[in-house]
């Protein structure tokens, strides 16, 4: 019990730390990029600042989703709350999608307005370089913590940071090109940012939906699990094995065949061995339901 409590405390510390770093870093970075975009007359950098600002909301949602998903099962939610993380990831995906649309609409309006395109200043170029380095570091840190926590929401948040880094690469190219005499490259960079955001939003939304509709773990995973179950002493055959992803956890349903001449106690003992072996095999497996069928030699 003490070990479980310590793990929960450590997880809570990681969640709090990665959230504080994400929120603080994004606020500072978005303000810096917004000022640089305005002073440097760069539409791409202003778009980049809006993207960074959306990361603040994304991290807040990820933080809330992870904390709520770790609540213990209760009377109304007897299977736990893991799918709250899926809902948080969906919200993150739609925030990204709306951010992309907003950037795209503003950029297209600017390009077709017919107004002369301003040449971005050096401060916008510096802001792009700072943003790339900062957001890439935040991506690696958040992804590292997400893997420790096995958190879908924080993985989505990490990719949110990576999409911001990619958009800053687009800003750097656009601003640099504009300063070299091709001012049209600045709004073109904004459109590139828009496409990057759409791609990441699509991946996050699709992943969250897959985890909400009981997607299986795949044939390869199930074959390995079946092979392991067959090796348990007393199991004659695996008649059926299904898996489903529930939030960031896995549920397994299996039917095994044991000697039909066994007593109920003996058959139950074998089923318990299978149960324990499967749950020990993968820490993501939350529960396995085992049905025992009688096996008779022909």
293 phi and psi angles, rounded to 5 deg: -110, 150
Does 219-295 carry CATH code 3.50.50.60? no
Domain 2-212: homologous superfamily in CATH: Cation efflux protein transmembrane domain (1.20.1510.10)
**Predicted confidence (pLDDT) at residue 213 exceeds the cutoff of 80:** no
**Predicted confidence (pLDDT) at residue 6 exceeds the cutoff of 60:** no
Cα separation of the two ends of the chain = 48
Q: In what order do the strands lie in the sheet with 237-246?
A: 237-246, 249-259, 285-295
**Predicted confidence (pLDDT) at residue 2 exceeds the cutoff of 70:** no
Among 283, 291, 294, 289, which Cα is nearest to 147's?
283
- pLDDT band of residue 235 (cuts 50, 70, 90) is very high
Q: Residues 245, 233: contact at Cβ < 8 Å? A: no
149 vs 16: CA distance, rounded Å: 12
- Average pLDDT value over all residues in the chain: 81
Q: Residues 157, 146: contact at Cβ < 8 Å? A: yes
Q: Please return the burial class of 72, using the count of CB atoms within 10 Å of its CB with bins 0-12, 13-18 and 19+.
A: exposed
- pLDDT band of residue 137 (cuts 50, 70, 90) is very high
Give the model's pLDDT for residue 207.
Answer: 78
Least confident segment among 6-20, 31-45, 241-255: 6-20
Give the model's pLDDT for residue 271.
Answer: 92
Per residue in 159-177, pLDDT (tens digit) is 878 877 877 887 788 888 8
217 vs 241: CA distance, rounded Å: 11
136 vs 162: CA distance, rounded Å: 6
User: How many C-beta atoms lie closer than 10 Å to residue 253's C-beta?
Assistant: 14
pTM metric for this prediction = 0.59
Q: Where are the domains of the chain?
A: 2-212, 219-295
CA contacts within 13 A on the Cβ side of 114 = 0
Give the model's pLDDT for residue 4.
Answer: 46
As a whole number, mean pLDDT of residues 133-158 equals 86
Sequence-separated (6 or more) residues with CB below 8 Å from residue 2: none
């Amino acid at each position: 019990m003490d070990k479980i409590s310590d793990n929960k405390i450590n997880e809570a510390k990681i969640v709090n730390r990665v959230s504080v770093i994400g929120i603080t870093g994004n606020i500072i970075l978005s303000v810096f990029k917004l000022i640089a975009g305005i002073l440097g007359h760069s539409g791409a950098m202003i778009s980049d600042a809006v993207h960074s600002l959306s990361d603040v909301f994304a991290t807040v949602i990820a933080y809330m989703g992870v904390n709520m998903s770790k609540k213990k099962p209760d009377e109304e939610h007897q299977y736990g709350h893991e799918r709250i993380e899926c809902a948080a990831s969906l919200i993150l995906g739609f925030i990204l999608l709306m951010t992309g649309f907003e950037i795209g609409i503003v950029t297209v309006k600017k390009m077709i307005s017919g107004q002369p395109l301003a040449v971005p200043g050096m401060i916008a170029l510096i802001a792009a370089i700072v943003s790339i380095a900062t957001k890439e570091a935040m991506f690696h840190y958040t992804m590292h913590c997400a893997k420790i926590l096995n958190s879908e929401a924080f993985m989505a948040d990490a990719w949110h940071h990576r999409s911001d880094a990619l958009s800053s690469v687009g800003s750097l190219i656009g601003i640099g090109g504009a300063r070299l005499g091709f001012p049209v490259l600045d709004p073109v960079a904004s459109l590139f940012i828009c496409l990057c955001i759409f791609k990441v939003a699509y991946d996050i939304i699709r992943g969250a939906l897959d985890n909400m509709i009981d997607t299986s773990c795949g044939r390869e995973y199930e074959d390995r699990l079946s092979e392991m179950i067959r090796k348990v002493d007393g199991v004659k055959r695996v008649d059926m094995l299904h898996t489903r992803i529930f939030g960031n956890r896995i549920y397994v349903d299996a039917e095994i065949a044991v000697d039909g001449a066994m007593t109920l106690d003996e058959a139950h003992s074998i089923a318990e061995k299978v149960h324990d072996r499967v749950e020990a095999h993968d820490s993501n497996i939350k529960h396995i339901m085992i049905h025992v069928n009688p096996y008779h030699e022909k």
